Amino acid sequence: MKIGTVDIPTQIALAPMAGVTDLAFRTVCRELSGCYTISEMVSAKALCYGDKKTASLLKLGPEEHPAAVQIFGSDEACMEKGAALALERSGADILDVNMGCPVPKVVNAGDGSALMRDPDKAVRVIRAVIRGAAGVPVTVKFRLGWDKGSINCVDFARRMEDAGVAAVAVHGRTRTQMYSGTANWDYIREVKQAVSIPVIANGDVFAGKDAARILRYTGADMAMVGRGVFGNPWLLSQCTAAVAGEEIPPLPPLSERVKVAGRQFALALEHKGERIACLEMRKHYAWYLKGVPYAAYWKEQICRMETAEDFAAVTRGILRDLC
């Protein structure tokens, strides 16, 4: 599959998720599956104001190619400049634009999925981004529409294609649904039938067979995996196997999962320092223990981690008591 001029050697993508898909987690996912990755969403306005914390979100790993970085915003001049800055600082192969984020803080500023309520403005924004990207392929991620009474994803996709985007990713829910209910794949199929650029299908891929099913049902070119990877980066390799018609590998034993959690923590430690790595790893490490019998005590200890030694002590305890 090609996105613009960029060859993508996989049909499985890791969805960009704020506070989750940082460099450490993306690296682990790529190492396990070779999936296509996209950065956490980055504010174009913050980039224009020179915010250092925001700029750090753009860092890609040395082996993380092809990959995209994602920006969001609704001010045309800022999005044009932000696109150029994001690509300059990241060296990304593709630039993605978030027009699907449903959280109030984002939509109340007119960003994310709020742009689906004003397609004319969305087109102006995307044209500005394309100018700023200066030849680097631009993609857009959006939802079905604002609510069930204003589903406009098919027309929105056509307008994005006409504006010059290289691919679209569609989450099968409306903004008002947030992440509740069931993703509607019918509309993703309609988008695929309406445009000639690649379509990435997103929503309710929680097992390997779901990836194969969403591609078969919608005709999409790629399946994007989101919340299902929380504590389970192996889902991506299971999806890859299912799409290829191969035997789906089982979830590895807990000892291996703990080892991968350690790898992720080591990467976070390197990139963010001890304090931030420990704070952010609390949720990830707890996710790795999801469904593990008798893990409640160790989840409590995980939530108290403040140092690398705390992480090591918790890991020793888990290996001793639960493996």
pLDDT of residue 54: 86
* Cα dihedral 62→46→20→238 (10° resolution): -60
Contact 230, 20 (CB under 8 A): yes
What pLDDT is attached to residue 199? 98
What mean pLDDT, rounded, does the chain reach?
96
Sequence-ordered list of residues with C-beta below 8 angstroms from that of 165, at least 6 positions apart, any chain: 126, 130, 138, 139, 140, 197
The predicted pLDDT at position 52 comes to: 80
Q: Are 236 and 32 in contact (CB under 8 A)?
A: yes
**Hey, which bits of 164-303 come out as E strands?**
167-171, 199-202, 222-225
Where would I find the H helices in 195-253?
Answer: 208-218, 234-243
Task: Please name the amino acid found at residue 194.
Answer: A
Amino acid at 78: C
- Residue 29 pLDDT: 97
What was the pLDDT predicted at 204? 97
- Give the domains, in start order, of the chain with CATH numbers: 2-243 (3.20.20.70), 254-321 (1.10.1200.80)
Asked if residues 138 and 146 have their Cβ atoms less than 8 Å apart, the reply is no
pTM, full prediction = 0.95
Which ranges of the chain have pLDDT less than 70?
none
Nearest to 264 by CA among 32, 24, 60: 24
Q: What are the residue numbers of the active site?
A: 101
Q: What is the pLDDT of residue 123?
A: 98
Q: How far is CA 30 from CA 43, 180, 264, in A?
A: 24, 28, 12
Between CA 203 and CA 30 the distance in angstroms is 20
**Six-digit token pair at 140?**
């857009």
Question: Phi/psi at 164 (nearest 5 deg)?
Answer: 120, 10
Six-digit token string for 275: 């304090």
The whole-angstrom separation of Cα 315 and Cα 60 is: 28
Nearest-CA neighbor of 137 among 200, 94, 187? 94
pLDDT of residue 55: 80
Q: What is the pLDDT of residue 56?
A: 86
